[in-house]
Structure 1
């Protein structure tokens, strides 16, 4: 019995990406692989001043079928990365912003080349901290902490919801500062008179709860990047514990990693 066109394509794709011989793979696999490579080009501003090429050109460039291109573009549209319309074509909807992991910087410092970051301060007060915060900040029994909650915007676009816990001696001084227009990191260094030194960072994907979704203007259950960061002064004292929910459709986390094997394990030629 003859296979339908889509079924036949799902059994054997014509070529692999970049023209290499194709292994057996499904149309969905091809679409996902194509979308990953095209996403990288979009992030690199390859289409900043023009629309994306037609489906036929993309199929030829990436060595995939037109159907795989169409499905891959649908994935990127669902992410909010591109817009598509008849007789208009395909265009980048709104770019994502790189947030580096190679240096200890606040969001305002990180995105200074893209515009002004402002903070909508929702809460800023002294609290009795939960036990988990007490442990992480190495607080004494009965010691308070300062809690700050902010929604952070680039222009009118909400990028992150930041929940920050500070040790009391530093936090109390920060409460009187300009929290709307400054990174907390900058204020900590001004108050302490010494620089921040290091941070422990964990990043994971979480679904937006109702509170986060409302503040970040995303649907309930949307994918967010949760960055947990414990920051220390240069002398090693932990002073700042943050839980930062970032819009995954607007932020890309980037780093430059270097592998340093023991030279003695390698034979140099």
Structure 2
């Protein structure tokens, strides 16, 4: 089976990227195409794939640069803040929405409440070292957490607030990971193009008694974030 030319070029281009080092500018597309003996279209395809892989980053009006290594997040019931700080990064959050809405049938089932009951919705852009990497929306039943708005700093750690101030003890969670394309609104919030692959996580967390705590939808930039899980037999 023949290998597409742009894939061959991409493989060779990885060696160039590794030789340049983090943050270095990639030579212009036309220069690389001439050096590799391929068309600019083929070179453009190879560069686009390396951008999608997180190896390169395009800056509008400036060029293409070698990207910093991806952040690797654990698939575990841990605080986003603590996970990033443990890797030497500075976490931050920007609140988009913090309101209440009636639960639809799917959300009600995940939270163990009746359809139409009110839920807190907290939507935030997640940052690492000042760069947006994810968009997280968390839903919690108002009946279970009536004082949430009064005690939570929405720019801080929700996990820490639930455990330290509201006495919640996380027991287990279920997480589904899939790849998606962002909506125009999501792409704008994450300062990304709609063509950039995204990783979408759906998580339902439960306490030590098996009672649902939260339902979470997290959208991450595929060029900035990867995930790691520990598997045991």
Same fold (TM over 0.5): yes
For residues 145 and 137 of structure 1, the distance between their equivalents in structure 2, rounded to whole angstroms, comes to 9
Distance 1:194 1:165, change over 3 A: closer
Call closer, same or farther: CA 1:120–1:131 in 2, change over 3 Å: same
Is the contact made by 1:170 and 1:188 (CA closer than 8 Å) also made in structure 2?
Answer: no
Q: CA RMSD of the aligned region, Å?
A: 3.3
Matched with 1:109 is 82
Aligned partners of 1:26 and 1:220: how far apart in 2? Answer: 25
The residue number in structure 2 matching 1:127 is 101
8 Å contact kept, 2:202–2:215? yes
In structure 1, the residue matched to 2:155 is: 180
Per-residue deviation, 1:81: 2.4
Aligned to 1:205: 179
Question: Which consecutive unaligned segments of at least 5 residues does structure 1 have?
Answer: 1-22, 53-65, 85-89, 261-269
Distance 2:37 2:120 in 1: 54
**Runs of 4+ deviating beyond 6 Å:** 49-52
Equivalent pair of 1:31/1:72 in contact (CA under 8 Å) = yes
Deviations 1:221-248 (A, max 9, x none): 4321110000111111111001111111
CA contact (8 A) 1:122 1:149 kept: yes
Whether 1:238 aligns to 2:212 is yes
Per residue, is there more strand in 1 or in 2? Answer: 2
Q: Max radius of gyration: which structure?
A: 1
TM-score (norm 2): 0.75
Between the aligned partners of 1:126 and 1:74, the Cα distance in structure 2 is 40
Q: Partners in 1 of 2:134 and 2:83 — Cα distance?
A: 13
* Superposition TM-score, scaled by structure 1 size: 0.66
Alignment of 1:85-164 (within 5 A): 92-101=66-75, 103-112=76-85, 113-140=87-114, 142-164=116-138
RCO higher in structure (CA 8 A, sep ≥6):
2
